[in-house]
Amino acid sequence: MFSQPEPRFLYGTAWKEDRTATLVQFALRAGFRAIDAANQRRHYFEAGVGEALADSYREGIVTRADLFLQTKFTYRQGQDHRLPYDPSASLAVQVAQSMASSLEHLGTDYVDSYVLHGPSSRSGWNEPDAEVWSSMIQERNAGRTRLLGVSNVSLQNLEEMAASGAEMPSFVQNRCFARFAWDLEVRNFCKERNIIYQGFSLLTANLDVLHHPAIAELAEAIDATPAQIIFAFARAIGILPLTGTSDPEHMKQDLASLQLKLPAAAVQAIESGFAVGS
Ligand SMILES: NC(=O)c1ccc[n+]([C@@H]2O[C@H](COP(=O)([O-])OP(=O)(O)OC[C@H]3O[C@@H](n4cnc5c(N)ncnc54)[C@H](OP(=O)(O)O)[C@@H]3O)[C@@H](O)[C@H]2O)c1
């Protein structure tokens, strides 16, 4: 599916405001090669990501071809007043305008993945979603993105999307809660269809797991941190993880977790929820 290296760990750029450029540069220096952004100024500063990319190319740290760049189209209701499109234009036009603006922000003529930030409703696959998705497919066909994704989706969203006959995405990006068996229903749907599941908030949505004594014990035994255990666990069950750390030391630790192989029994124990409510 990938002509370029598969992303192994996504560096998330939300909530970094005027530190975005500096932190993305740190992340690239630390070794991240996959970057997650969105053309949603309310939570992301996409132009700051582009600034970091330009500086990193200039300094010879990476080239565009080394990178997996992902960004998103966000509906009007997910935005503040700083819109990357004309809100009175049709949704199809809004997608084209948002994409053009993302490419300008990122200083590139294509992204690797273009994601619908969230469907118009928690249930179903509705008319606006179909219109946006078909415009995203046109962007892909025109070469402005290699791949497509959807985010913040329920199983019902995905099932109705499939039932509508729509082309299915290459990626699903969801907040991943241990208390919902790490989004098992959606992960299973993805697995059956070769869709790569990207998980975010792996640490912050699962603090009871992160701080569970069994995780601390395992971390001690294999000389890792609890956060590294969670990321290694996520990967072991087929999740492509995101991290949005602002700490250069955590950046290195997060990447080093790629080298960690957890005992199968530990993966099973975490997945089956030993740490939740026990
Ligand atoms: N599709 C969507 O709607 C959506 C929604 C939310 C997020 N996202 C994406 O996912 C990315 C990641 O967001 P996130 O919700 O997973 O949370 P996050 O922004 O990565 O926050 C992680 C938190 O955990 C802390 N932390 C402690 N130890 C850590 C370690 N070793 N490694 C990493 N973090 C550590 C971080 O603190 P330090 O900074 O001190 O390390 C930070 O406060 C975002 O930047 C964004 O790209 C997408």
Q: Do residues 36 and 10 make contact, with C-beta atoms less than 8 angstroms apart?
A: yes
Cβ 201 under 6 angstroms from ligand 1? yes
Distances (CA, A) of 143 to 57, 110, 118, 204: 22, 7, 23, 36
CA–CA–CA angle 82, 88, 89 (5° rounding): 100
For 49-64, the pLDDT digits (tens) are: 999 999 999 999 999 9
- Which atom from ligand 1 is nearest to the alpha carbon of 14? 45
* CA-closest candidate to residue 183, choices 228, 153, 226: 153
Tell me how far the alpha carbon of residue 118 lies from the centroid of ligand 1, in angstroms: 18
For 168-191, what is the mean pLDDT?
98
* CA-closest candidate to residue 91, choices 134, 131, 52: 131
- Which atom from ligand 1 is nearest to the alpha carbon of 228? 31
Q: Do residues 36 and 11 make contact, with C-beta atoms less than 8 angstroms apart?
A: yes
Determine the Cα–Cα distance for residues 50 and 87; give it in Å rounded to an integer: 24
Cβ 19 under 6 angstroms from ligand 1? no
For 203-227, the pLDDT digits (tens) are: 999 999 999 999 999 999 999 999 9
Higher pLDDT, 278 or 60: 60
Cβ 272 under 6 angstroms from ligand 1? no
Mutate to test the pocket of ligand 1, among 23, 203, 209, 249 (most ligand atoms within 8 A of CB): 203
For 127-139, the pLDDT digits (tens) are: 999 999 999 999 9
For 180-196, what is the mean pLDDT?
98
Percent share of the chain, pLDDT over 90: 95
Give the global pTM: 0.97
Give SS3 for 242.
strand
Tell me how far the alpha carbon of residue 11 lies from the centroid of ligand 1, in angstroms: 9
